[in-house]
Amino acid sequence: MGDEGELAGPGRAERLAAVCAHLEEIREDLRSGPGGDEGPAEDVLSVARDGGDVVAALTVLHAILQAGGDPQGLDGYTDHAGATRGLRPAGISSARAELVYLCPAGRCARYWWPQAAAPVPHCTIIGSTLRRERL
C-alpha cells in the first residue's frame, strides 16, 4: 500500500493529530465497522501515551478504517488537508502576532485557531489543553 513510507515523516504527525482531534468520531466509525471494536484507536492512544513509535498502530488503524468502507482512512479526518496558512509573502511583517494552539507534547500536527468564546480544546491523548504559540 505504501502508507508506511508516508508515515515516516509529516504523515505520522497529521494522522496522530486526526486521532487526537476526532477520537470520538473514529471510535464510532470503528464500532459500526466490520470489526465492531474500537481497539485499534485505543492501541494508538496507548503507544502515544507511553511515548512509543506510533507508526505501526496508525498504519493498522488507517487500514481498518479503509477496510470499513472509508477510502481515505485517517486522512479523511484531518482538519486542514495540506493548508498553507501561516506562510508569509514577501513584504509582510515577520512579527509573530497570530495565535495558534498546538499539540501540548509537540508529537502531532494538531492545531486550533482561537475562536471567540470557544474554550481551548484538550488533547485526548495526554489530557492537557493545547499549548498556545504565536506565529
Q: What is the mean pLDDT of residues 108-134?
A: 91
Find cell 508529537 and name the residue.
107
Output the pTM of the full model: 0.61
Q: What is the pLDDT of residue 82?
A: 45
- Given a contact cutoff of 8 angstroms between Cβ atoms, the answer to whether 104 and 129 are in contact is yes
pLDDT (tens digit per residue) in 80-118: 544 333 344 555 555 556 789 999 999 999 999 988 888
Q: 62 or 116: which carries more pLDDT confidence?
A: 62
pLDDT (tens digit per residue) in 7-56: 444 588 889 999 999 999 999 889 887 778 999 999 999 999 999 999 99
Q: What is the pLDDT of residue 12?
A: 85
Instruction: Starting at the earlier edge strand, list the strands of the sheet with 131-134.
Output: 111-112, 99-102, 131-134
Q: What is the pLDDT of residue 4?
A: 43
Q: What is the pLDDT of residue 48?
A: 94
Q: Give the H or E element holding residue 86.
A: none
